[in-house]
């Protein structure tokens, strides 16, 4: 196994008026390729800040972040956007699908930004939607799909570029319990197929799917443990 994420002494400070908020305080963390990691913590613990840094949506105030061999700590926004599109597949609680686009069109978007030719884009998007069980819903728009189906489209969009990491932020937050189990089963499968999966969640039952659970408190890693009681759903 080799490291896909190497973080050393990451610090993130925010200025709020005249007050400096220390959101992350010297966090160090390595994640190996094909790990399944959950990041947990109460509100204000720094987990959202850490997720934004891991996802290259923000840069640290100090420390280093090596993503798949590239130092992204001090990159400008344009370069970060390029890295994000290539290396990270995002899955959001609110799905973040474009309402006027079909499932197929939504999934092709990262490929357009990556400069993939049109014929290849459609083929790759179709294959990925079939992989998440939506081969018969490709021409449907988001408002014609259930919450679980919308999240599957979002997962397909995250997967289509074959990124180094799938980063899922509260992926079941807007779903009922049965649909949540289905979506976590899909993420389990994605991990088994060789993807690195990082789930940011405040829900214990969701975190229990991961092989490793990192808990943050007051901007620091409080615990980082192997999950011996991991939930695995057979698909």
Provide the pLDDT for residue 76: 87
**Mean pLDDT taken over the chain:** 92
pLDDT value of position 39: 97
Q: Does the structure show a pLDDT above 60 at 235?
A: no
Q: Which residues contact 86 (CB under 8 A, 6 or more apart)?
A: 114, 161, 163
Helices (H), the chain: 47-54, 77-87, 103-113, 118-131, 147-159, 177-192, 204-207
According to CATH, the topology of domain 3-226 is Rossmann fold (3.40.50)
pLDDT band at 234 (very low <50, low <70, confident <90, very high): low
pLDDT at 19 over 70: yes
Q: Is the pLDDT of residue 145 over 90?
A: yes
Q: What is the pLDDT of residues 71-127, one digit of tens each?
A: 999 888 888 988 998 899 999 888 899 999 999 999 999 999 889 998 899 999 999
3-state secondary structure of 47: helix
What's the pLDDT score for residue 1?
54
In whole angstroms, give the CA distance from residue 26 to residue 203. Answer: 25
Q: CA 174 to CA 177: how far, in whole Å?
A: 10
- Give the mean model confidence (pLDDT) for residues 140-153: 95
* pTM listed for this prediction: 0.92
């Amino acid at each position: 196994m080799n490291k896909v994420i190497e973080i050393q002494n990451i610090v993130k400070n925010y200025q709020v008026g005249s007050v400096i908020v220390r959101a992350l305080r010297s966090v160090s963390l390595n994640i190996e390729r094909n790990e399944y990691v959950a990041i947990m913590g109460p509100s204000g613990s720094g987990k959202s800040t850490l997720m934004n840094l891991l996802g290259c949506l923000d840069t640290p105030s100090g420390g280093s972040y090596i993503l798949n061999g590239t130092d992204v700590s001090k990159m400008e926004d344009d370069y970060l956007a390029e890295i994000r599109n290539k290396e990270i597949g995002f899955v959001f609680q609110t799905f973040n699908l474009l309402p006027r686009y079909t499932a197929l069109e939504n999934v092709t978007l990262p490929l357009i930004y990556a400069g993939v030719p049109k014929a290849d884009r459609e083929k790759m998007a179709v294959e990925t939607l079939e992989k998440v069980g939506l081969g018969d819903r490709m021409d449907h728009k988001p408002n014609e799909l259930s919450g679980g189906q919308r999240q599957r489209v979002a997962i397909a969009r995250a997967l289509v570029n074959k990124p180094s990491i799938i980063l899922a932020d509260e992926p079941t937050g807007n779903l009922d319990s049965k649909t949540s189990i289905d979506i976590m089963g899909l993420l389990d499968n994605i991990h088994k197929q060789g993807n690195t999966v990082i789930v940011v969640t405040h829900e214990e039952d969701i975190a229990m799917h991961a092989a490793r659970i990192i808990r943050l408190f007051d901007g620091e890693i409080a615990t980082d443990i192997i999950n011996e009681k991991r939930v695995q759903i057979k698909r």
